[in-house]
Chains A and B, each alone.
Chain A
Amino acid sequence: MIRVRGVEVWYDALRVLRGISAEFEGGCFTGVLGPNGAGKSTLLRAIAALVGFRGRVELLGREVREMGRRELARRLSVVPQEFPHELEFSALEVVAMGRYPHQPVLRLRDGEHLRAAGRALERVGASELAGRRFRCMSSGERQRVLIARALAQEAEAVLLDEPTSNLDLRHSVEVMELLRRLAEEGRCVIACMHNINLASLYCDRLVLMRDGRVAVQGTPEEVVTPEVIREVYGCDVCVVPHPVLKKPQVHLIPRATSSVAETSRVSGPGQ
């Protein structure tokens, strides 16, 4: 659904993305991982045509920069990491803004679109928030409202910039399960994340980035290995399968104990 070909992004003299190529399919939940400054957010911003770039990004076979903003917004929605908190708007009003690319210009009636916004809130299990002001919500509630806004756009692709970074355990799991369902319905879901274990549990594919390049991409089992993590993050870790789901899970080995851990890493996980 989304093809990224040789994308380079420059911020002034700094090359943030150095030739990225990747493909993101519909029905697939992809996690984009990598250290700070690896270019994860920039990759999302390039796909959404929010930064200028060299190379090509195709959405459903068409270059994103050649689509109009409105058309792009009907096919691709973004849940940003930064969003103004001090909004007097209610949750329903924020979600209804997601209907904007579907509304005719200069027409202010929006009964039908308010109902669509209501359904989107229902989808994320946040109907009870409809009348609440955005600034009176917790981070978890805000995140769900913003995902509902993306749903209201009825786009085939959903990009999320660190959707779980401010959330506690329960809310992270809720958001990840929601994203999983969205992917299972056929959408192309791409989320930048820091939490490798969470990504490994929920994502179908992982793209691990470093220094503006794709270091490794593939299934969680292919990407989350002690060698790769050590190579990309420069940390000593051991990787063990999740006790129930068997997905690879990373455990840090603090430096002071790494000599002790050496033996266990050599002997391998799970023994």
Chain B
Amino acid sequence: MRLHRVLLLLMVSLGAVLCLELVTGPVRIPPEQVLQALLGQTKGSQEVIVRELRLPRAVLALLAGVALSVSGAVFQGVFRNPMAEPYVLGVASGAALGMSIAMLYLKSYVLLLSFAFGLATLGVVYSIAGTRTHALLLAGVSVSLFLSALTSFILYLNARDAATIMFTLMGTLSSATWDRVRVSLVVLPVALLIYLFSRELNILTLGDENARVLGLEAGRMKLLLLSLSTLLASVTVSLCGIIGFVGLITPHIARLLVGQDFRLLLPAASLTGAALLMLADVAARSLAPGEVPVNIVTTLFGVPFFIYLLVRSRRSEV
């Protein structure tokens, strides 16, 4: 089984990147001591750093990577558009606005509000553009810019309390604590539920009419799957801010590795996404002194890839 070997290989690479993530950081801790700290065999600052800072960060990176990739894969499948993704379509900007409002004015309901705003944004973009490839991208980008401006505006009005929100919105895993990681655990059941709809996702790639002919009420199923994916994206935004392009790239890599069948594509994309996000995080912490927001790294790699997809789609239209 070649495909299962691919998944195994991805798991091994994820493990390797996980080790890299755990030994990277401003404080140099040799690998064997990291291992000892994980096993609880040492006491003191090293144990605190590894178990209270690096481990939750690694877990958050893993879950955020899974959430971004699964939501990206679902968006691309449901919209039948290789460039669709929660960030490109403005859903993440909506979630960011919701999160900012919740943190500034309500001091709670962060996840709820970012989910609600993400969902509303999706509704707006979809009603503007339908599923036409380029209209969808344009609508997504313009709505996204509008919402970012709104977010900047309310952050400007609340400049005194805005610093942490602004730092989070730049896209970083540095705020990982076990408390926040606990919230992000919601990613797992949601991703699993989406996985159970793999067959429906496969059928939806044939288009609405073909889905209906096969007995699948396409509209309702799309709404359900897009809502679940928006929830995944909103969880990520409310915990780590805007981390762009991971959800765009990983489904493409996964398709190259295992093909179009969502039953294999979703696990492959999840593993790839988790590994890529961790790798980007390692890079973000090694490139410059201190810590570069991980979004900068993912965007620097993601935009050229996005442009490559755009050029390729234009060529296929001619």
Q: Interface on A for B, CB 8 Å cutoff?
A: 48, 50, 69-74, 77-78, 80, 83-84, 87-89, 93, 97-98, 100-101, 103, 106, 108, 153
* A-contact bits for B260-286, CB 8 A (1 contact / 0 none): 110100000000000000000000000
How far, in Å, is B219 (CB) from chain A's closest CB?
11
Partner-contacting stretch, out of B89-97, B101-109, B202-210, B304-312: B202-210
A108, B202: Cβ atoms closer than 8 Å? no
B99 to chain A, nearest CB (A): 32
Which residues on B sit within 8 Å (CB–CB) of A83? Answer: 206, 210
Is there contact, CB below 8 Å, between B260 and A88? yes
Please report the C-alpha to C-alpha distance between residue A71 and residue B199 in the assembled complex, in whole angstroms. Answer: 18
Evaluate contact between B196 and A106: CB separation under 8 angstroms.
yes
In the complex, A101 Cα to B260 Cα: how many Å?
Answer: 21
Chain A residues near B214 (CB, 8 Å)?
A: 73, 97-98, 100-101, 153
Q: How far is the CB of B257 from chain A (nearest CB, A)?
A: 12
11 extra A-B contacts, CB within 8 A, seeds A48-B212, A88-B255, A88-B259: A50-B209, A69-B212, A69-B215, A69-B216, A74-B215, A80-B210, A93-B202, A97-B202, A97-B203, A97-B214, A108-B263
Select one of B80, B196, B215, B255 contacting A100, CB under 8 A.
B215
In the complex, which of the residues B199, B203, B205, B215 has the most CB atoms of chain A within 10 Å of its own CB atom? B215
Please, which residues of chain B bring their CB within 8 A of the CB of A88?
A: 255, 259-261
User: CA of A106 to CA of B203 in the docked complex: distance in angstroms?
Assistant: 14
Asked whether B213 lies within 8 Å of A48 as measured between CB atoms, the reply is yes
- B contact residues around A77 at 8 Å (CB): 213
Chain B residues 12 to 64 lying within 8 A of chain A, measured CB to CB, are: none
B183-203 vs A: 1/0 string, CB under 8 Å? 000000000000011110011
Query: How far apart are B286's CB and chain A's nearest CB, in angstroms?
Result: 37
Identify the B interface with A (CB < 8 A): 80, 196-199, 202-203, 205-207, 209-210, 212-217, 255, 259-261, 263
| Cβ B202 vs Cβ A101 within 8 A | no
Nearest CB on B from A10, distance (A):
18
Contact A69 B217 (CB under 8 A): yes
Give Cα distance in the complex from A103 to B199, angstroms: 10
Interface Cβ pair total, 8 Å cutoff: 61
| Cβ–Cβ < 8 Å partners of B213 in chain A | 48, 50, 73, 77-78, 80
Given the complex of chains A and B, what is the CA–CA distance between A73 and B209 in angstroms? 12
Chain B residue contacts of A48, Cβ below 8 A: 212-213
A89 to B255, CA, bound (A): 11
> Would you call B259 and A100 a contact (CB within 8 A)?
no
Which chain A residue has the least Cβ–Cβ distance from B218? Answer: A69
Assess whether A108 is in contact with B198, with CB atoms less than 8 Å apart. yes
In the complex, the chain B residue whose C-beta lies closest to that of A133 is B259
For the complex, give the distance between the alpha carbons of A184 and B215 in Å: 26
Shortest CB-to-CB span from B54 to chain A, Å, is 36
Residue of A nearest to B209 (CB): A50
Residues of B within 8 A of A93 (CB): 202, 261
Could you tell me the distance between the alpha carbons of A73 and B210 in the complex, rounded to whole angstroms?
11
Please give me the residue from chain A that is nearest to B80 by CB atom. Answer: A84
Q: Bound complex: CA of A98 vs CA of B214, how far in Å?
A: 6
Q: Could you tell me the distance in whole angstroms from the C-beta of A116 to the nearest C-beta in chain B?
A: 14
Q: How far is the CB of B190 from chain A (nearest CB, A)?
A: 14
Q: How far is the CA of A71 from the CA of B207 in the complex (A)?
A: 20
B43 to chain A, nearest CB (A): 46
13 pairs, A vs B, C-beta closer than 8 Å: A50-B212, A69-B216, A69-B217, A74-B215, A77-B213, A80-B213, A84-B205, A88-B255, A89-B259, A97-B206, A100-B214, A108-B198, A108-B199
Asked if residues A108 and B196 are in contact (CB atoms below 8 Å), the reply is yes
Chain B residues closer than 8 Å to A89, beta-carbon distance: 202, 259-261
Question: A97: shortest Cβ distance to chain B, in Å?
Answer: 6
